[in-house]
Amino acid sequence: MELARLRTLNRIEPLGIDQTPEFSWMLRSSARDTVQSSYRIVVTAGPLTVWDSGRVDSDAQSFIAYAGEPLRSRTEYRWTVTVTDNHGHTASASAGFETALFADDWRAQWAESTIPRPAAEGWGHGTQPPAVEFLRDFRLDGAVRRARLYATALGAYRLTVNGVRPDDRELAPEFSVYRSRLYVQTYDVTAFLRVGGNELSMYVGDGWYHCPVTRPLSHAQRETPAVLFQLELEYADGTTQIVSSDDAVTCRTGPVQSSDLYWGERYDATAIPSVAQRARVVNLGYDNLVAQPLEPIRAVAVLPAVSLHIAPSGDRIIDFGQIVAGRVRVRIDAPHGTEVALEHFEATTPDGEYFNGTLAGQKDVYVSDGKPQIYEPIFTFHGFRYLRVTGLEAIDLADFEAVVLSTPKDSAGSFESSDARLNRLHENVVWSQRNNTMSIPTDCPTREKAGFTGDIQMYAPAAYANEDMTSFLEAWLRNLEADQLPDGVVPMTVPFTTLYESLSLRMSAQFGTTGVTGIAGWSDAAVIVPWEIYRATGSTAVLERSYASMKAWCDSVIDTARHMRGSDDIPEELDRHLWNTGFHFGEWLIPSQHQKEGDWDNTRSSAFYVAPFFGYRSLSLFAQVARLLDRDADHHRYLEEAEATKAAIQRVFMSADELPTPLMGGYVLAFAFGLVPDERRMAYGAKLVSILDDNDGLLDTGFVATPYLLDVLVEIGRPDLAVGLVWEDRMPSWLYQVDQGATAIWENWDAIAPDGMPTTSSLDHYAFGAVDDWITREIAGIQAAAPGYKRIVIAPRTDVPLTFCARTLLTPYGEVGIHWTTESLDVTIPANTTAVVHWGGDVHAVGSGSYHF
């Protein structure tokens, strides 16, 4: 038996943490039926032991919280875990973590640019002011043994020490709710310093902070780039020194003439840096500083250019063969003054022309100084597969690469089957996830790049099927809490930005409310996302941390239902339990309910059930959470509220053998959330099937109902219909996208028309990729019978048109592996779990190990 995959706060040896660490590990054993019987954790700082858990007789192996002496600022720790198992084997392993600079130890002062800067305009058009380089010179009198730099900025920055980047992170300090959570990065810069003169540079572009679309809510905004850094030095002789941002910081402009997340970057290699001038010291306090709680954005892959074609218009277009989020790295050797334009886009027209329906220019411009150079923009990223290149005389494909940016996470598994189209669908899901998990979960990497709460709410289970999402999603949940309004309302995006705040206010005005109001299926992310983390990990600590936020959201639903009269047709004593007022997106993008530009009226066709149904969903989940956390009073109170809501929904909507609407999603959500009265199950099931039949067997559900559609068809005894929808290839369907050459998941089912013409829809939206969760559970057949996969069910659905299917899935205990063919089944069950295997009509209860059936 050995221990593997040691994680601290779900990260590999994190550098710079300010939360209480939680430890996890996995057991690997060649012996079957292995169960952990005890663990012991010892944490040390140098020679000192700061925590010894002692022997704990427990099978717990994840989210074990540190409970030793208070951790000290900027200190290196190691932890060693020793485990014994039921077979009497013992194993140990250790890993490290380092704390951040804690609040009390900040000495640095914010230094703000003094270079005049025009005020930001509405939706930016690539005319932002130049990036600002902040410089600080300092001398070192002797050799340095250890040096750590703690830094952050208002804007997006790139750090160099004596001209060298100390790591490969991009777009620091990333995207967060800056007024309460500005991430601080920790760098080990020991190797980059020298005795004598040194220079530290932070080059600051607009990033999210200053971008007109993503900038924080107006009341919390500063208009000028600024930096904060503190360099903590330890000399070989043990003496220490601090160099920090202060009145010695200077600033100047350089080659980046403008940088914008949507419109791209203009880099002028001929530009002469402005004369450095003193920056201004400002007091912005340290209250919002938080150690970056997730892995930094990095290049996670580099793809070569696949082909070049000349469009009928003469445009030269490079294809990277895959939709990615990131940017192009290009070798340029062009005469002085040549302007090379790189325009990024997702799909060509059928005759191969440039097409950009995204509202964002996505155009980088490089002005050559005549010297050969490798150019990659610094402060922007794009969503693209294709690149239109202008300004270069000749194009050599070998000079172009696509650099894929994402927040790196542990891969959670692989999928392969005998059906190449299904395999491509899975790949498309994985790509959309990679492309939309850069710092925060986004809707798309092109047009909006926004943290839509609804999208991740519906996609979270599928996300866990592909990557370990915990530190990423928990970081985002802290942002959600920071943006949650005093009345508990959770906005449509997190971070909530000026753009979406004004959109929310406009919607309120149209729908008879004021202020920012909650949106069904979007705001519910406050409850559903922590719940999905719990289901995937088994961690109640996650629920504990989100408890107040979940509760505030539920209270907001209850208050809105109580105080806002929905309809005079509904008796008041029922209406008071129904969340049925204000603006809602409804199911969103139901194929038959086409969205008209600027007109939200059609969302009403599904909003009237989506809102009360999701209200019930949040309340009933929260009641379960309260029970899990032994909050009895809350458990009873919210259960009562949930039951009253359910009763009201059943009285108002379910008094007949059909729902008041012939939309599939109403039935789907009613079944999925457990709202259908027993006596109506048969009728509703039959009705759902008949609506599907009337629609020629094609799905007609939007964002929030589609993730449940296939499960509900199984539940009503029609798995054949669920399987049929997976293998459907007429529009709307998943395989239609694959047949159209999709390399990621589309926002709309008809994003590319049958004649190959793209629309303004995004081609890189993970929401409808939620189906990957169903494929993992039902087709590959790996299911969690208890939260966190402590108990596993293996039950592949073999009534599908496949001759084999193979899936691995990383659970908190280790990897589950499955490979089935029409003849046999091979499974691997991780240590410390048990499984029930359904195969060939038989049921086998097994412990950990590998089995052949």
* Shortest separation between residue 736's beta carbon and ligand RAM, angstroms: 19
Considering the complex, state which of residue 381 and residue 588 has its C-beta at the smaller distance from ligand RAM.
Answer: 588
* Shortest separation between residue 458's beta carbon and ligand RAM, angstroms: 9
**Residues identified as active-site:** 448, 747
Residues in contact with 285: Cβ distance below 8 Å, sequence separation at least 6, in sequence order = none
* Shortest separation between residue 444's beta carbon and ligand RAM, angstroms: 6
| Residues at the site binding ligand RAM, with contacts judged by CB under 6 A | 443-444, 448, 452, 454-455, 585, 588, 765, 767
Name the packing angle between helices 420-435 and 453-466 (round to 10°): 120
In angstroms, the CA 737 to CA 667 distance is 26
Considering the complex, state which of residue 68 and residue 454 has its C-beta at the smaller distance from ligand RAM.
Answer: 454
* Shortest separation between residue 429's beta carbon and ligand RAM, angstroms: 15
Residues in contact with 196: Cβ distance below 8 Å, sequence separation at least 6, in sequence order = 139, 140
In angstroms, the CA 116 to CA 224 distance is 9
Radius of gyration of the chain (CA): 28
Considering the complex, state which of residue 368 and residue 493 has its C-beta at the smaller distance from ligand RAM.
Answer: 493
In angstroms, the CA 125 to CA 330 distance is 24
Considering the complex, state which of residue 346 and residue 448 has its C-beta at the smaller distance from ligand RAM.
Answer: 448
Dihedral of the alpha carbons of 392, 394, 395, 398, in degrees to the nearest 10: -120
Residue nearest to ligand RAM (CB): 443
3 state SS of 501? helix
Considering the complex, state which of residue 288 and residue 442 has its C-beta at the smaller distance from ligand RAM.
Answer: 442
* Shortest separation between residue 442's beta carbon and ligand RAM, angstroms: 9
From residue 590, alpha-carbon distances to 560, 681, 695, 754 in Å are: 26, 24, 13, 19
From residue 577, alpha-carbon distances to 541, 616, 644, 738, 851 in Å are: 30, 9, 6, 43, 51
Residues in contact with 338: Cβ distance below 8 Å, sequence separation at least 6, in sequence order = 367, 368, 391, 392
**DSSP string covering 615-682:** HHHHHHHHHHHHHHTT-HHHHHHHHHHHHHHHHHHHHHH-SSSS-SS--HHHHHHHHHTT-S-GGGHH
Please answer whether residues 114 and 72 qualify as being in contact, where contact means their C-beta atoms are separated by less than 8 angstroms: no
3 state SS of 57? coil
In angstroms, the CA 463 to CA 467 distance is 6
Considering the complex, state which of residue 260 and residue 448 has its C-beta at the smaller distance from ligand RAM.
Answer: 448
* Shortest separation between residue 69's beta carbon and ligand RAM, angstroms: 45
Angle formed at CA 521 by CA 432 and CA 643, multiple of 5 degrees: 140
Question: Which residue matches tokens 């967060």?
Answer: 176
* Shortest separation between residue 441's beta carbon and ligand RAM, angstroms: 11
Count, residues in the chain: 853
Considering the complex, state which of residue 148 and residue 765 has its C-beta at the smaller distance from ligand RAM.
Answer: 765
* Shortest separation between residue 561's beta carbon and ligand RAM, angstroms: 22
Considering the complex, state which of residue 98 and residue 443 has its C-beta at the smaller distance from ligand RAM.
Answer: 443
In angstroms, the CA 502 to CA 268 distance is 35
